[in-house]
Amino acid sequence: MLHTPLCELLGCEYPIIQTAMGWVTGPEIVAASGNAGGFGFLAGATIPPDEIERDILRTKSLTDAPFGVNFHMYQPNAADIVDLVIKHEVRAVSYSRSPGAEMIGRLKEHGVRCVPTIGLPKHAIKAIQLGADAVTVQGGEGGGHTGSIPTSLLIPQVIDAVDGKVPVIAAGGFKDGRGLVAALAWGADGIAMGTRFLMAKESSPPDATKQRYVECNNPSEIIVSKAVDGLPQRMINNEMLMRLENANPLTKFIIAIGSGLKFRKHTGASLTSLIKSAIAMAKSDDITVTQAIMSANAPMIIQKAMVDGQPASGVLPSGQVAGVIGDVLSCEDIIHGIAAEAEQRLRVLAAMTNKETLQ
């Protein structure tokens, strides 16, 4: 009942995608998602190429299911990641900033499916022109960098714009089978979830950090702020975010420079390559170079919560849906639960339709 063109494209049983999140989605959760019938993406934007290769190989050792790798096309080691994806025959890549057609063409030449995340109909059209095989559309309820249009309004707009050219994946505010059925009713081919999988047993963050998500039982506490990197980002309103909100612009910039230097050391990238990446990002995304430099802020401050287990000292990217999720489940329970509920809801709708037809 749930087999869609997205399942054919990615080779998964259910049209349920586990999105990539820096410091969160490592081999264990990606493999668990695939083994449960979904499709998972490794986070590749916050680690050096040799660690990405390590994680690809580790994932392959844990599952025979296909999976993907996520990265930013303007990160200094983007070309290295493309080489690794091709070398190890990874099924798909996801990215939020489209590269040139040449890089996408190289990926597609080797059979790698390209699945960008977009936030507007015009972005979907451009992504398809560049060669996207599917598009993930994130509404304003989604976590991390996000837009302002609600999912329920944005998804139908993009589906109309795409006009059946590629599968459309709905993201932003999904956690259960009812949401999957709603997305299918809008015309989407599946759903992608970040926060629901962050709150999974197999995700990387320590229990102390996951508990902060469980304890956040009010969607209004999950706000959009530009304090971290100058771009709208949805996060749980915690101690670190309040500190950044109250900091003056100079202090924020100094923090960003420090984070950028830490990020350079962590990834092994040169200072020159980081600056070039910031300039390229600014030209592509209509943001200032300062905002692009500040983008290094996010991964290193997020690391405090997601790796070090200090949720009060780092920021907590989150979709609003965390405010209505009160448990930490295994990937198998999450995916099979969503599939079972969706099929049950579809049966109810079919029975209602049949009853009206008979009358």
Query: How confident is residue 175, by pLDDT bands cut at 50, 70 and 90?
Result: very high
DSSP class of residue 219?
G
Q: How does DSSP assign 262-295, residue by residue?
A: HHHHHHT--HHHHHHHHHHHHHHHT--HHHHHHT
User: pLDDT for 239-280, tens place per residue?
Assistant: 999 988 998 877 767 776 666 666 656 566 555 655 555 555
Task: Tell me how far apart the 2 most distant CA atoms of the chain are, in Å.
Answer: 72
Give 351's contacts (C-beta < 8 A, 6+ positions apart): none
- Dihedral sign, Cα of residue 261, residue 266, residue 272, residue 277: negative
User: pLDDT for 105-127, tens place per residue?
Assistant: 999 999 999 999 999 999 999 99
- Residue range 224-247: mean pLDDT, rounded: 90
Where in the chain are the domains?
A: 5-204, 209-320
In this predicted structure, the answer to whether residue 287 has a pLDDT above a threshold of 60 is: no
User: pLDDT for 10-35, tens place per residue?
Assistant: 999 999 999 999 899 999 999 999 99
Tell which residue, 263, 170, 278, has the closest CA to residue 231: 278
User: pLDDT for 2-12, tens place per residue?
Assistant: 999 999 999 99
Q: Which pTM does this prediction carry?
A: 0.89
- 5-204: CATH homologous superfamily? Aldolase class I (3.20.20.70)
